[in-house]
């Protein structure tokens, strides 16, 4: 075990919670489990690949290896899934093949939609979770709904990322027995160890939406909770090819924009952008990527978020293909809680000119990633339209991980961002250690050095984190201790706050009542204490909560908070309660909502105590398999506590209508009204995706504001005035060899 993470001062909250954490570990942790004891699967080798049509009548499936006996793990562990599932496995030199026969005596109740990629996870689905290195560090997840619509993701260090889009094939069909699915995964699309015999591991999953029931093969051990990676079944393949991985992805984007200036529309110069991304496999497990002017034209605009009264910046996910290869390697230990979310957030690279990246494995136990990019940052949001762009920035990122027992690892980071006279560097180790079948310890210890200007001394800081997670079907315990010094800076990552030392302990007993309507109850109690280092003041958040999982696809949660928060050297109350609910009422309609009421802070240079609420609701209506309507509402308000005066009342309304002609072609319209900024966004898109990378998009958007041009100035008005409009076209083509 590593040296315990130091805390700042004796008796600090982080140190006290850390002592409690180590006491819990000493009681709960047994000897680390040994690998092995997992049944080895032998997929069937074929020279006659199946035709993917959702019918399991190909000869290969008559001879293929198969497994059945799926058992539930959501909402409870260890019950035979009510509907039988059979999963088949086969392969040839260049592809892996899987098929599922999912029996269902009520095929009319099967929830399925013709949807855009990754938008089908609310349907019934099967999932092939594939650990291609059999090292229990990460997996590919291949989701398919009963109509063959795909979703895919990468999972590592407890985090699942749906940004990745892989090239693979699927087909599905609903019939009188239920539904059947066929899948082909080209070896070029995944990374794996080479050799005469290749060992991977698999976890087959089936979700029945109307009962929010997940079953799996192999069955998950209730004593290990949701630790997926150590519980997968190994598979052995013989004679897999070593494919040449060479990809070129040229892209072209054309856009035109009109802006209203001095009351009249003015056409800006048309924009034409070419980009190129290339991928080359040095080995099947080590990939080199390069890019010139990578495309970042927003096909799907980031959904509006409430941006009033923020203590730290909003977070937006990565979408650019160049940055997605091997992105799971950048996950950091001990960042489930705490101010440091990640030390590498590639959207800090705003407008890259060029970049190189090397990701993958060297040998069975070593994972590495190296990234270099030059960036032309955008001017600050408050800069004028004629403001010059800042100087170029250079990013250098290095990552190393070494596998330990089961899903544990030890790793290290180095990051640097250099721009003009400012240089910020962050370096240090992180890792996670499997202490027992149910217990995982994770940590990070980073130091930063920031130099601003040629004559200024560097500012040094550190970020320390230690987290422990204990998870079984009956009990969950999480404990954490973090410290982020006042001068810690991370220009390549995402950091919400500095100058703190914190500790937390959360206990979640899980109860399974013998009830006809209530399937599971999760109780929760959390104690959290934080010291604000600049002021020396303490803040806390103590809460109790309960979540009920009901029959069907419904859940209800309530949490009560006794809390304070320190801001600019003052301590304020942040007590309140949170309520959330969701339900899939019918195949065609679902609803989820959240609400918070309580005390709050006005984050300004002269802060004050306030009270307010936050709420959101989302309704999804799917009248046919091809048509989907989503309605979203977000709200926040704040009132000054001493006077009752309203500070703001913020509403965002968003509707999204999609007609999916087939798996490749869809038409989509979005209308979003931001009542706080009094502006309306309208966005239309036609999109065709042959395979991920080979795409054509045609879009049109307009922005309106509730104002009018009168007497040479813009004035507030009841009606809407169009302020800008734009048209864009994007095409890219993925060439593979």
User: For residue 14, what pLDDT is reported?
Assistant: 44
Residue 441 has pLDDT above 60, yes or no: yes
Question: Phi and psi (nearest 5°) for 339?
Answer: -80, -30
- Distance separating alpha carbons of residues 259 and 41, to the nearest angstrom: 61
For the whole model, what pTM was predicted?
0.88
Distance CA 444, CA 498 (A): 16
Give the chain's radius of gyration (CA, Å).
27
* pLDDT above 80: residue 254: yes
**Nearest CA-CA partner of 39 in 301, 219, 255, 246:** 219
pLDDT at 301: 54
Residue 23 pLDDT > 80, yes or no?
Answer: no
CA distance 99 to 67: 11
pLDDT score of 210: 93
Confidence of residue 299 (pLDDT cuts 50, 70, 90): low
pLDDT value for 303: 60
Residue 214 in any domain: the answer is: yes
Whole-number pLDDT of residue 116? 86
Which three-class secondary structure state does DSSP give residue 483?
strand
Judged on CB neighbours under 10 Å (0-12, 13-18, 19+), 334 is buried
Residue 609 has pLDDT above 90, yes or no: yes
Please, are residues 52 and 169 in contact by the beta-carbon 8 Å criterion? Answer: yes
Tokens, residue 359: 């990701």
How many Å apart are CA 431 and CA 595, to the nearest integer? 36
Q: In the predicted model, what is the mean pLDDT of residues 664-682?
A: 95
User: Phi and psi (nearest 5°) for 728?
Assistant: -140, 150
Query: Per-residue confidence at 92, pLDDT binned at 50, 70, 90?
Result: very high
Task: Indicate whether 201 pLDDT > 80.
Answer: yes
Residue 19 confidence class, pLDDT cut points 50, 70, 90: very low
pLDDT of residue 324: 84
Among candidates 352, 407, 418, which has minimal Cα distance to 35? Answer: 407
4: in domain: no
Chain centre distance of CA 6: 30
Higher confidence at residue 325 or residue 673? 673
User: d(Cα 448, Cα 427) in Å, to the nearest integer?
Assistant: 7
Whether 511 is covered by a domain: the verdict is no
DSSP 542-603: EEEEEEEEETTTEEEEEEEEEEEEEETTEEEE--EEEEEEEEEEETTEEEEEEEEEEEEEE-
Compute the C-alpha angle 448/366/447, nearest 5°: 10
**Confidence label for 34 from pLDDT (cuts 50, 70 and 90):** very low
What is the pLDDT, as a whole number, of residue 126? 98
Tokens linked to 106:
């009520």
Q: Confirm whether 111 is domain-assigned.
A: yes
Asked if residue 11 has pLDDT above 60, the reply is no
Banded model confidence at residue 6, pLDDT cuts 50, 70, 90 = very low
- Whether 345 shows a pLDDT value over 70: the answer reads yes
Q: What CATH number did the domain enclosing 75 receive?
A: 2.60.40.1190
Residue 4 has pLDDT above 80, yes or no: no
Task: Examine residue 261 and say whether the peptide bond preceding it is cis (omega within 30 degrees of 0).
Answer: no
- What is the per-residue pLDDT for 381? 65
Structure tokens at 561: 């908070």
Domain that holds residue 110: 35-238
For residue 121, is pLDDT > 50? yes
**Domain assignment of residue 122, yes or no:** yes
Report pLDDT digits (tens) over 647-657.
Answer: 999 999 999 99
Share of the chain above pLDDT 90, in %: 79
Do strands 393-403 and 409-419 pair parallel, antiparallel, or not at all (unpaired)?
A: antiparallel
pLDDT grade for 491, boundaries at 50, 70 and 90: very high
> What average pLDDT does this structure show over 93-100?
97
Q: Burial level of 157, CB count in 10 A (0-12/13-18/19+)?
A: buried
Q: Is the pLDDT of residue 404 over 80?
A: yes
Whether 146 is in a domain gets the answer yes
- pLDDT > 50? residue 255: yes
Q: Which pLDDT value is given to residue 13?
A: 44
pLDDT at 294: 78
Neighbours of 516 (CB within 10 A): 7
For residues 490 and 462, is the Cβ–Cβ distance under 8 A? Answer: no
Buried b or exposed e, range 525-543, using 16+ CB within 10 angstroms: ebbbbbbbbeeebebbbbb
Residue 678, pLDDT above cutoff 80: yes
Domain tally, the chain: 1
Query: What is the SS3 assignment for 18?
Result: helix
> Average pLDDT of 7-13?
38
| 390 confidence band (pLDDT: 50, 70, 90) | confident
Tokens for 611?
């009270």
3-class secondary-structure state, position 25: helix
Closest C-alpha to 234, from 85, 91, 133: 133
Lowest mean pLDDT among 34-48, 141-155, 481-495, 555-569: 34-48
| Range 292-312 average pLDDT | 69
**Residue 125 in contact with residue 214, Cβ under 8 Å?**
no
Q: Is the confidence at residue 8, as pLDDT, over 50?
A: no
- pLDDT for the residue numbered 410: 97
Would you call the peptide bond into 75 cis, given omega within 30 degrees of 0 as the criterion?
A: yes
Other beta carbons less than 10 A from residue 558's beta carbon: 14
Q: How many CB atoms lie within 10 A of CB 259?
A: 15
Whether 26 has a pLDDT exceeding 50, the answer reads no
- Mention every residue, 6+ apart, whose C-beta is less than 8 A from residue 453: 421, 422
- Cα dihedral across residues 334, 338, 340, 345: positive or negative: positive
Q: What angle do CA 537, 542, 545 make, to 5 degrees?
A: 160
Could you give the CA distance from residue 616 to residue 205 in angstroms, rounded to a whole number?
Answer: 31
Q: Is residue 520 part of a domain?
A: no
Per-residue pLDDT tens digits for 36-71: 457 899 999 999 999 999 999 999 999 999 999 999
Tell whether 637 is covered by a domain: no
């Amino acid at each position: 075990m590593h040296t315990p993470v130091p805390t700042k001062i004796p008796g600090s909250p982080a140190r006290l919670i850390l002592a409690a954490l180590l006491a819990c570990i000493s009681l709960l942790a047994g000897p680390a489990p040994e690998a092995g004891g997992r049944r080895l699967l032998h997929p069937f080798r074929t020279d006659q690949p199946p035709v993917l049509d959702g019918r399991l009548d190909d000869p290969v499936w008559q001879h293929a290896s198969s497994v059945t006996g799926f058992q539930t793990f959501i909402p409870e562990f260890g019950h035979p899934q009510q509907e039988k599932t059979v999963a088949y496995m086969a392969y040839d030199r260049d592809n892996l093949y899987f098929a599922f026969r999912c029996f269902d005596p009520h095929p009319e109740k099967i929830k399925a939609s013709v949807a855009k990629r990754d938008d089908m996870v609310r349907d019934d689905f099967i999932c092939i979770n594939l650990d291609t290195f059999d090292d229990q560090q990460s997996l590919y997840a291949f989701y398919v709904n009963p109509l063959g619509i795909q979703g895919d993701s990468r999972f590592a260090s407890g985090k699942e990322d749906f940004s990745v889009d892989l090239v693979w094939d699927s087909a599905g069909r609903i019939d009188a027995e239920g539904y059947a699915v066929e899948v082909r995964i080209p070896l070029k699309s995944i990374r794996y160890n080479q050799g005469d015999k290749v060992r991977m591991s698999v976890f087959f999953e089936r979700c029945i939406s109307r009962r929010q029931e997940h079953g799996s093969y192999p069955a998950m051990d209730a004593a290990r909770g949701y630790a997926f990676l150590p519980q997968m079944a190994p598979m052995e393949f013989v004679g897999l090819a070593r494919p040449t991985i060479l990809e070129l992805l040229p892209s072209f984007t054309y856009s035109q924009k009109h802006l209203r200036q001095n009351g009249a529309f003015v056409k800006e110069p048309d924009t034409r952008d070419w980009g190129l991304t290339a991928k080359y496999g040095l080995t099947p497990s080590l990939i080199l990527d390069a890019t010139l002017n990578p495309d970042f034209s927003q096909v799907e605009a980031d959904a509006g978020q409430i941006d009033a009264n923020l203590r730290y910046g909003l977070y937006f996910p990565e979408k650019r293909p160049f940055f997605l290869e091997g992105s799971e390697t950048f996950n950091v230990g001990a960042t489930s809680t705490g101010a440091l979310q990640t030390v590498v957030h590639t959207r800090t690279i705003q407008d890259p000119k060029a970049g190189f990246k090397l990701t993958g494995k060297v040998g069975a136990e070593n994972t590495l990633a190296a990234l270099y990019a030059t960036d032309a940052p955008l001017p600050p949001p408050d800069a004028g339209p004629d403001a010059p762009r800042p100087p170029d920035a250079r990013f250098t990122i290095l990552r190393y991980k070494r596998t330990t027992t089961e899903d544990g690892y030890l790793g290290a980071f180095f990051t640097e961002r250099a721009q003009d006279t400012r240089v910020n560097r962050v370096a240090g180790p992180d890792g996670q250690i499997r202490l027992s079948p149910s217990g995982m310890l994770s940590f990070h210890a980073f130091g930063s050095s920031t130099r601003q200007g040629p004559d200024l001394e560097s500012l040094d800081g550190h970020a320390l984190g230690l987290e422990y997670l204990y998870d079984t079907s009956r009990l969950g315990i999480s404990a954490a201790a973090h410290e982020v010094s006042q001068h810690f800076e991370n220009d390549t990552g995402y950091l919400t706050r500095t100058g703190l030392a914190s500790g937390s302990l959360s206990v979640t007993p899980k109860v399974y009542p013998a009830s006809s309507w209530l399937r599971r109850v999760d109780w929760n109690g959390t104690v959290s204490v934080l010291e604000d280092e600049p002021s020396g003041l303490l803040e806390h958040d103590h809460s109790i909560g309960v979540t009920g999982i009901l029959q069907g696809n419904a859940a209800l949660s309530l949490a009560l908070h006794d809390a304070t928060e320190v801001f600019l050297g003052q301590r304020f109350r942040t007590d309140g309660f949170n309520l959330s609910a969701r339900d899939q009422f019918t195949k065609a309609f679902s609803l989820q909502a959240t609400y918070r009421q309580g005390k709050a802070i006005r984050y300004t240079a002269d802060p004050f105590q306030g009270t307010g609420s936050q709420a959101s609701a989302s309704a999804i209506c799917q009248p046919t398999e091809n048509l989907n309507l989503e309605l979203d509402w977000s709200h926040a308000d704040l009132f000054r506590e001493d006077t009752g005066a309203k500070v703001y009342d913020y509403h965002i309304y968003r509707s999204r209508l999609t007609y999916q002609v087939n798996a490749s072609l869809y038409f989509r319209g979005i209308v979003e009204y931001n009542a706080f900024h009094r502006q309306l966004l309208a966005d239309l898109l036609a999109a065709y995706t042959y395979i991920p990378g080979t795409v054509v998009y045609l879009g049109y958007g307009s922005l309106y504001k509730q104002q009018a041009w009168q007497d040479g100035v813009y004035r507030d008005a009841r009606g809407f005035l169009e302020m800008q409009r734009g048209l864009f076209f994007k095409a890219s083509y993925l060439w593979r060899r």
